[in-house]
Amino acid sequence: MSFELQKQQLAQLIPGNKDVDAWHTALVAVMPKYGINTARRAAHFISQCAHESNNFRSLSENLNYSEKALNAVFGRYFGTGGTKRNAAEYARNPEKIANYVYMDEFRKYKMGNVKEGDGWLFRGRGLKQLTGRENYTRFGATVDMTAEEAAAYVATPKGAVESACWFWDANKLNTIADTDDVVKMTKKINGGNIGLADRQSRYSKAMQVFGSPVTLSDDAGNDDFDVDDIGVLRKGCKGEGVKMMQEALGIGADGAFGPGTERALKAWQTANGLTADGIAGPMTLEKLLG
């Protein structure tokens, strides 16, 4: 028998969300289409999405940067010298910021944003933060929509859910869900173990709410840890990946990503021609760790 998500169950899994009715309607309409039709699969999907989106509340990229933040986070684009622009002219104007820093003509790493206004139109949205014209085009093709139509769709609860389901299906996450391997699933979703404890806790709670309690192993997969497992590191992260990054930066390697590590990382990014956002994503880690 297929699993049927109840509204009161969802309310327990996304505490603080005021739109449970809309999210419940969207989930029950879309999940079965992508084979998320058992308690285990639904629990994994909802728990992972809730972690990524702050309980289904953070659904659009926040680009409301101050002048100081623009210079710090987007040092490649703002400041003095060369083709950099004056951050004061962009501060607190998210649309203007996106239409500069996210346009392919200004980026080394392309997103498919080539038409005027693409940076803002195709900013990160949805439960999995779909970003860039290229990704919106790929998703749109699966739901018979243009990239522009998909952008409007992803801004709705149903579209936010379906874009996440599209990612889920493309990465064959139902197969992993069936094995209850939260570690493997987390690595598949974000490239590492970031947020693993919260994801495991959310999954355990979901299965309890669904009436099928589980016991998960505490093993985070560190025995097989390598650079490819690090994922994205930002302030607040802890663990072996942070320690490796700190050692490469030549600072105290305590495995805790605090303000000092963030400052050191920004300085290194600036010196190496990368966006000085203090976040160690794939590009930064590849250059830093090799």
Tens of pLDDT, residue by residue, the chain (290 residues): 579 999 999 999 999 999 999 999 999 999 999 999 999 999 999 999 999 999 999 999 889 999 988 988 788 899 888 889 999 999 999 999 999 999 999 988 889 999 999 999 999 999 999 999 999 999 999 999 999 999 999 999 999 999 999 999 999 999 999 999 999 999 888 777 778 889 999 999 999 999 999 888 654 444 444 445 567 888 888 777 787 788 788 787 777 888 888 888 988 888 777 888 889 887 788 788 75
Supply 143's token pair: 């739901």
Would you say 90 and 66 are in contact if contact means Cβ atoms under 8 Å apart? no
Beta bridge partners of 256: 238
Report pTM: 0.73
C-alpha pair distances (Å), 165 with each of 1, 93, 138, 194: 21, 31, 13, 21
R_g over Cα of the chain? 20
Three-state SS at 85:
strand
Q: ∠ at Cα 284 (89, 251), nearest 5°?
A: 105
Residue 196 makes CB contacts below 8 A (sequence gap 6+) with: 182, 183, 186, 220
Q: Give CATH 1.10.530.10 domain extents, the chain.
A: 7-57+154-222
Would you say 98 and 123 are in contact if contact means Cβ atoms under 8 Å apart? yes
Architecture in CATH of 226-289: Orthogonal Bundle (1.10)
Residue 112 makes CB contacts below 8 A (sequence gap 6+) with: 104, 118, 122, 132, 133, 134, 135, 137
Three-state SS at 187:
helix
- CATH code assigned to 7-57+154-222: 1.10.530.10
CA distance 102 to 132: 8
Q: Give CATH 1.10.101.10 domain extents, the chain.
A: 226-289
DSSP state of 33: G
DSSP state of 223: G
CA distance 105 to 131: 16
- Write the single-letter amino acid at 89: E
Count Cβ atoms within 10 A of the Cβ of residue 11 and give its class: 0-12 exposed, 13-18 middle, 19 or more buried.
middle
